[in-house]
């Protein structure tokens, strides 16, 4: 009879909170009560833990049992608390030592005592280490993932008897043989990797020089991109090759991206942290929660968060429901998604490059030289209006992708590879970082309008006169004005020039305001 305690981690979005799991075994009518704001699978944990302990050779206290999850005001959901609950009960009943009080335990229990893999181990262990609890016990299938956190001392366990032996309990050979004979064959805790892991190369895209240039500028500055053109012009191919032009993620971004994919259950720790920018391309039938995140209980990350530090590609963008497109407006500005539910405030990172692809009309043939389009003007206007002005105003680069001529297809020149373009992008970003030294921003796309205007005006106020006239004529908004300046500075860095010029601003204005509706 006594009090046992250990620790777990409650995740609310990307935020991990240390939770003390306390178990008290005392005199009274045999009963088990769990308190402390538990939900769903966590409230059911006592039933799983009771059966798992008995089938593993341990005893369930034949007394009054009270388990408290503290702090009580932090929501706790899911089966990740099973292992901590079992550990605290074993401590309270004297079946293992109190050493467990200095460790964090994460894992789900099967009825036969197996410790099952759980999602979100990486951000949970990271939160534990930051809170001063470097010793963590996790499912064996999650051990490699947990070990990616610097400073963590990880113990992986496959079964409750492994947990007991970790704390110095001697398990009889008979029990060990019985347990192992009952265990099913081990399965991987992670989704299988796609056999085709080779990234698509820009070398596959013939001609399309203007589109390739726009893609390079977008990669250098971290900009959003709209490509409009008839079907079969290579819009999807170009979008899929944008991640290959981006540099590897730094340590902080890699940890954040990997944590999101850990929560989604789509991360394999074999190669360490995710270093390459991700690419997400949801179908146009996807719902708003599928894109931005949501679900019952604690909201899960959506496609926009899985694409964090990478590319979110919306092919056939006008076919997406207007509600889906409109909910992107706030994340594009803030770089994060905030999901409010009753009693829960959750956020996920969403610093992405948005790439939109659209046809010029429902049939895709508007402007065709052979006049094959049969869409009425009303149909064309209605189709184009699906991409609202506020959404388009947040997209930095607007380009038109045309059908290739017979001469362009017949050219024997070898297109430039992704590696060659990525080298220029990396050099441009190095010059960009030098200009941004002393600020908290990594790319021009992240800078506020006041900063980019100040840098431009310092070179010469006369440079923006034509741009100001365009703004006065309502050709661009104030947001568009600032985005043109950011594009101009990116062109300056790609051209290895020290100061922005009027030509850079004019070229940037063309990238920004190309009329895709002619």
Give residue-wise pLDDT tens across range 424-474. Answer: 999 999 999 999 999 999 899 999 999 999 999 999 989 999 999 999 998
Q: Are 149 and 115 in contact (CB under 8 A)?
A: no
Is residue 193, in this structure, part of any structural domain at all? no
Q: Which of 442, 465, 491 is the last residue of a domain?
A: 442
Query: Does some domain include residue 195?
Result: no
How far apart are the C-alpha atoms of 396 and 225, rounded to whole Å?
Answer: 6
Clarify whether residues 72 and 148 are in a common domain.
yes
Does residue 163 form part of some domain? yes
Decide: 9 and 127 in contact? Cβ < 8 Å.
Answer: yes
**In angstroms, rounded to a whole number, what is the distance separating the alpha carbons of residues 162 and 90?**
13
Do 238 and 292 belong together in one domain?
yes
The stretch 146-173 carries a mean pLDDT of 89
Strands 15-26 and 311-314: unpaired
3-class SS of residue 73? coil
Whether 34 is covered by a domain: the verdict is yes
Residue 44 has a pLDDT of: 79
pLDDT at 516: 41
Query: Residue 264's closest CA among 149, 150, 352, 348?
Result: 348
Cα–Cα distances in angstroms (integers) from residue 59 to residues 53, 54, 95, 379, 419, in the given order: 6, 6, 8, 72, 61
Q: Cβ(422)–Cβ(247) under 8 Å?
A: yes
> What are the percentages of helix, strand and coil residues in the chain, rounded to 5?
45, 20, 40
Domain for residue 76, yes or no?
Answer: yes
Q: Are residues 423 and 467 in the same domain?
A: no
Cα 284 from chain centre:
19
Residue 188: is its pLDDT beyond 60? no
Judge whether 149 and 142 are in contact, CB under 8 Å: no
Strand ranges in 101-213 using DSSP code E only, listed in sequence order: 104-105, 108-109, 115-116, 135-139, 153-157
Parent domain of 88: 2-182
pLDDT classification of 196: cutoffs 50, 70, 90: very low
Say yes or no: 326 and 348 in one domain: yes
Which of these ranges, 177-186, 276-285, 299-308, has the smallest mean pLDDT?
177-186
Same domain, 406 and 489: no
CA distance 119 to 190: 10
- In sequence order, which residues have a C-beta less than 8 Å from that of residue 294 and are 6 or more positions away? 288, 300, 302, 339
> Mean pLDDT throughout 186-192?
54
Cα–Cα distance for residue pair 124/16, rounded to 1 Å: 6
Separation of CA 176 from chain center = 41
Q: Answer yes or no: do 221 and 178 share one domain.
A: no
Instruction: Select the more confidently predicted residue: 75 or 49.
Output: 49
Interacting residues of 239 by C-beta distance below 8 A, sequence separation 6+: 225, 227, 281, 311, 313, 315, 355, 357
Is the separation of the CB atoms in 146 and 125 below 8 Å?
yes
The domain boundary, picked from 442, 465, 481, lies at: 442
pTM: 0.88
Three-class secondary structure of residue 12 per DSSP: strand
Percent of the chain with pLDDT over 90: 58
Q: Is residue 194 part of a domain?
A: no
Cα–Cα distances in Å, from 93 out to 24, 148, 162, 491, 499? 8, 34, 18, 69, 73
pLDDT grade for 284, boundaries at 50, 70 and 90:
very high
410 and 318 housed in the same domain: yes
pLDDT at 396: 94
90-105 residue pLDDT tens: 999 888 887 888 999 9
List pLDDT tens digits, range 230-282: 888 889 999 999 999 999 999 999 999 999 999 988 888 888 899 999 999 99
Structural domains counted in the chain: 3
Instruction: Read off the tokens for 320.
Output: 């997406």
Residue 192 counted as domain residue:
no
Q: Are residues 164 and 210 in the same domain?
A: no
Question: Taking the CB of residue 214, how many other CB atoms lie within 10 A of it?
Answer: 25
pLDDT, tens digit, 9 for 90 and up, residues 107-125: 999 998 899 999 999 999 9
344 and 402 in a common domain = yes
**What is the length of the chain?**
518
CATH number of the domain bearing residue 49 = 3.30.230.10
DSSP state of 159: B
pLDDT in tens, 14-67: 889 999 999 998 877 777 888 876 666 667 788 889 999 988 888 888 888 899
Q: Are residues 279 and 175 in the same domain?
A: no
Same domain, 7 and 137: yes
Are the C-beta atoms of residues 264 and 119 closer than 8 Å to each other?
Answer: yes
Same domain assignment for residues 316 and 425? yes
Residue 189 included in any domain: no
Domain-terminating residue out of 442, 466, 495? 442
Please tell me the distance from the alpha carbon of residue 294 to that of residue 11, in angstroms, as a whole number: 15
What are residue 22's DSSP bridge partners? 5, 68
């Amino acid at each position: 009879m006594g009090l046992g305690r250990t620790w777990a981690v409650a995740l609310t979005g990307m935020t991990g909170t240390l939770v003390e799991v306390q178990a008290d075994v005392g005199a009274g009518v045999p009963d088990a009560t769990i308190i402390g704001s538990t939900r769903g699978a966590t409230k059911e944990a006592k039933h799983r833990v009771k059966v798992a302990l008995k089938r593993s050779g341990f005893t369930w206290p034949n007394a009054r049992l009270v388990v408290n999850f503290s702090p009580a005001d932090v929501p706790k959901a899911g089966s990740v608390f099973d292992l901590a609950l079992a550990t605290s009960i074993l401590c309270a009943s004297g079946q293992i030592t109190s050493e467990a009080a200095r460790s964090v335990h994460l894992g789900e229990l099967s009825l036969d005592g197996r410790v099952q893999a759980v999602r979100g181990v990486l951000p949970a262990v990271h939160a534990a280490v930051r809170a001063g609890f470097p010793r963590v016990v996790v499912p064996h299938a999650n051990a490699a993932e947990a070990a990616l956190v610097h400073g963590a001392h990880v113990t992986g366990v496959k079964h409750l008897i492994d947990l007991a032996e970790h704390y110095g309990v001697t398990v009889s050979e008979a029990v060990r043989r019985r347990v192992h004979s009952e265990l099913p064959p081990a399965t991987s805790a992670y989704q299988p990797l796609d056999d085709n892991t080779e990234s698509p190369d820009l070398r596959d895209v013939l001609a399309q020089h203007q589109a390739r240039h726009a893609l390079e500028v977008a990669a250098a500055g971290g900009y959003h991109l709209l490509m409009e053109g008839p079907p079969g012009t290579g819009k999807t191919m170009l979008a899929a090759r944008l991640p290959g032009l981006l540099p590897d993620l730094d340590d902080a971004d890699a940890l954040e991206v990997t944590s999101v994919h850990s929560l989604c259950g789509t991360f394999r720790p074999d190669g360490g942290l995710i270093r390459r920018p991700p690419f997400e391309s949801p179908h146009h039938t996807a719902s708003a929660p599928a894109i931005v995140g949501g679900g019952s209980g604690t909201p899960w990350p959506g496609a926009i968060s899985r694409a964090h530090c990478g590319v979110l590609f919306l092919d056939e963008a006008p076919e997406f429901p207007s509600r889906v497109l409109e909910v992107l407006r706030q994340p594009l500005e803030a770089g994060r998604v905030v999901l409010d539910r009753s009693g829960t405030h959750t956020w996920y990172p969403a610093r992405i490059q948005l790439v939109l692809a659209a046809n010029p009309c429902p049939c895709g043939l508007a402007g065709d030289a052979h006049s094959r389009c049969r869409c009425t003007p009303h149909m064309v206007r209605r189709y184009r209006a699906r991409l609202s002005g506020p959404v388009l105003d947040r997209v930095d680069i607007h380009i038109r992708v045309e059908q290739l001529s017979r001469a362009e297809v017949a050219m024997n020149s070898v297109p430039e590879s992704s590696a060659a373009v990525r080298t220029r992008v990396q050099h441009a970003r190095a010059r960009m970082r030098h200009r941004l030294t002393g600020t908290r921003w990594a790319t021009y796309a992240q800078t506020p309008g006041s900063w980019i205007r100040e840098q431009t005006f310092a070179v010469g106020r006369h440079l923006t006169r034509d741009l100001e006239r365009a703004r006065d004529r309502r050709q661009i908004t104030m947001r568009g004005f600032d985005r043109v300046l950011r594009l101009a500075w990116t062109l300056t860095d790609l051209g290895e020039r020290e100061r922005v010029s009027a030509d850079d601003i004019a070229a940037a204005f063309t990238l920004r305001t190309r009329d895709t509706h002619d």
